[in-house]
Amino acid sequence: MSENKSEALANLSNETRRFDPPAELAESANVKADAYDRASEDREAFWAEAAERLDWGRKWDQVLDWSNPPFAKWFVGGTLNAAVNCVDRHVDAGNGDKVAIHWVGEPADDTRDITYAELKDEVSKAANALTELGVEKGDRVAIYLPMLPETVIAMLACARIGAIHTVVFGGFSSDALASRVTDCDAKVIITSDGGYRRGAPSSLKPAVDEAIEKLGEDSPVQKVLVVRRTGQDVEWNDDLDVWWHDAVDGQSTEHEAEMHDSEHPLYVMYTSGTTGKPKGILHTTGGYLTGTAYTHWSVFDLKDDDVYWCTADVGWVTGHSYLVYGPLANGATQVMYEGTPDAPHKGRWWEIVQQYGVTIFYTAPTAIRTFMKWGDEIPAEYDLTSIRVLGSVGEPINPEAYVWYRSTIGGDKAPVVDTWWQTETGQIMISPLPGVTSGKPGSAMKPLPGIVADVVDDDANSVPDGSGGYLVLREPWPAMLRTLWGDDQRFKDTYWSRWPGLYFAGDGAKKDDDGDIWVLGRVDDVMNVSGHRLSTTEIESALVSHPKVAEAAVVGAADETTGQAVCAFVILKESATDDEGTADDELIQELRQHVAKQIGAIARPRQVMIVPELPKTRSGKIMRRLLKDVAEHRDVGDVTTLADSTVMDLIKDKEGSGSSSED
């Protein structure tokens, strides 16, 4: 375990603060303590009850088929339509006038309130348009859009007709888009001319054009549907491009929805793994919707009159499960915001909370730490008293950030639910229940009812309370990934091969003396930057693809705001260095930019250090642990397993000589 983790382990034993649920919330909570017992008595019956919260075309014959692990089937034989569950049924129940989405654009006063009835019309029209464009059940549709109502509408329209969407985060580069489009063979891309970011329109369509050009004759894309958001000029290809408003606006609002099989694929979400190639996580319909709807209702204690706001981008799994499918399946009213937290001023989020009376607020520790840095006086200017539950997701929340969040944003009363889950799990797995759990700052506490998580040692033995190890899941759960798109073997190897019968999440964790779980972060070569997963290998490959780079090693170094930051150590080709073997700052900037171009701005290294050698073991494995020491400005640890023990001296010399850049 790294020094960081040992430090975290030592710290948590000193944490004695406890926050009980507010009495009123406990009294009226959707889920009370008995749920844990009921679920452990009969897990399948528990999840079947959760599935009853949805509308089914045909009820299932079997709750779970786990006869061919690790390939699970949930609610076997059942049929349903995700879009009908997220939209139509609320209208049918008489809630058509309820606001589904308070959409807030970044430019001031650019807002749109969309009721469930309006959403139903829009989704139906978009479904008709997709069908007219030739999209059929089972086809893949890539969605590359900013945070617009059309993004949600497009996802639901795909779900409605049984097309499989793959949303690509708008901050990703054209290369990243191209590789995802190829991997899942997407027939259509839905995008926009651009979006607003920090007060200015920024373009998106050119990246799509570039991706398609790059794919050339191999491009599977037959149509590009373009939402007009900013009105900026775009290049137009009459064979491919279609305006969203031309294709959708004239369509009928009637659309007969087919009931799809419970295991029909709903979407593919690409995420970083330990190798360079992103993994296409496949989620299916019945189990996923059951898992997300139930956890959204239980973990946030959702009530009819709540105003919920999840700040995640739809391009990540949090946006899928807790902005689109969970909340809409529950008929919630929510806020969706297009822009950044500091546009046009640093109080924008709190202004929105005040304006819409947000009651449940879900964000990431990196955002919380940023607000802490900006100062208490900013949120103090707004009325945040409507907030009654706060959520955190994406990375471990440090106790200080938790306590600040609870007191400054939550008025010292709102419980904080620290929710642990992953793209792969689809649904929240470990979290306090706000009406039941006495919260500990920094701990995700216990697996939710119906979830069996554990912390094990190298031999898969459950560790005793007070010890650390690897976080695993012992039993299948409804929203679990079904496989990796087109790669069953990689699915088995990645998650199920370390210990037979256990799903290994890739995280380290500790059980405290009460048996509560503290997630410590990744134990593999996956970094967590601002709550976003990046693979060290993926960034290394991007660096090595630069003509001047011979070799690269990337580590995630501790960063006060982003949790971890990308730090790269690069060996240049001889032709790229001057006589002294140094490189200029310009090249370093070029390398940082190169990574941003290859993957996306979030992957741009905070720091690039040009070094003469990399520390390697005798078998040639790069010792990232030592590089991490350098990046975190620590004394370098044990070097005895290095093939050449002088290498670290050379690297440390370089650190002092200015061949690095940090901003």
Number of residues this chain uses to bind ligand WTA (CB under 6 A): 23
396 binds ligand WTA, rule: CB under 6 A: yes
538 binds ligand WTA, rule: CB under 6 A: no
Query: What is the Cα–Cα distance from 540 to 535, expressed in whole angstroms?
Result: 9
Q: Which is nearer to ligand WTA, 96 or 556 (CB)?
A: 556
**Which residue among 418, 454, 516, 525 contacts ligand WTA (CB under 6 A)?**
418
420 binds ligand WTA, rule: CB under 6 A: yes
Q: How far is the CB of 589 from ligand WTA (least distance, A)?
A: 28
Cβ-Cβ contacts under 8 Å for 200 (sequence gap 6 or more): none
Contact yes or no for 276/535 (Cβ under 8 A) = yes
Stretch of 199-207, 253-261, 389-397, 591-599 contacting ligand WTA, by CB under 6 A: 389-397
128 binds ligand WTA, rule: CB under 6 A: no
**Which residue among 212, 436, 505, 570 contacts ligand WTA (CB under 6 A)?**
505
Q: How far is the CB of 297 from ligand WTA (least distance, A)?
A: 18
Q: Which is nearer to ligand WTA, 123 or 416 (CB)?
A: 416
Query: What is the Cα–Cα distance from 15 to 27, expressed in whole angstroms?
Result: 27
Stretch of 109-117, 314-322, 551-559, 654-662 contacting ligand WTA, by CB under 6 A: 314-322
**Which residue among 230, 419, 443, 483 contacts ligand WTA (CB under 6 A)?**
419
DSSP string, 389-437: EEEEESSPPPHHHHHHIIIIITTTTSPEEEEB--TTT-S--B---TTT-
Contact yes or no for 417/493 (Cβ under 8 A) = no
Q: How far is the CB of 363 from ligand WTA (least distance, A)?
A: 12
Query: What is the Cα–Cα distance from 663 to 658, expressed in whole angstroms?
Result: 13
Query: What is the Cα–Cα distance from 100 to 525, expressed in whole angstroms?
Result: 39
Residue in the shown chain whose Cβ atom is closest to ligand WTA:
423
Q: Read off the tokens for 245.
A: 């408003």
Residue 377 burial by Cβ neighbours in a 10 Å radius (0-12, 13-18, 19+): exposed
445 binds ligand WTA, rule: CB under 6 A: no
CA 228 from centre of chain: 26
Q: Residue 457: name the closest of 465, 447, 467, 445 by CA.
A: 467
Longest CA span, the chain: 77
Binders in 258-277 for ligand WTA, by CB under 6 A = 271
627 binds ligand WTA, rule: CB under 6 A: no
Residue 9 burial by Cβ neighbours in a 10 Å radius (0-12, 13-18, 19+): middle
**Which residue among 170, 280, 410, 521 contacts ligand WTA (CB under 6 A)?**
521
395 binds ligand WTA, rule: CB under 6 A: yes
Q: Which is nearer to ligand WTA, 17 or 345 (CB)?
A: 17
The β-bridge partners of 270 are 280
455 binds ligand WTA, rule: CB under 6 A: no
Q: Which is nearer to ligand WTA, 244 or 420 (CB)?
A: 420
Collapse the DSSP code of 242 into the 3-class scheme (helix H, G, I; strand E, B; otherwise coil) and give the result. Answer: strand
**Which residue among 265, 280, 339, 394 contacts ligand WTA (CB under 6 A)?**
394
- Phi, psi values for residue 524, rounded to 5°: -110, -165
Q: How far is the CB of 416 from ligand WTA (least distance, A)?
A: 11
Q: Which is nearer to ligand WTA, 536 or 659 (CB)?
A: 536
Stretch of 45-53, 164-172, 391-399, 568-576 contacting ligand WTA, by CB under 6 A: 391-399
442 binds ligand WTA, rule: CB under 6 A: no
Residues near ligand WTA, by CB under 6 A = 271, 316-318, 393-396, 418-423, 444, 505-507, 519, 521-522, 528, 533
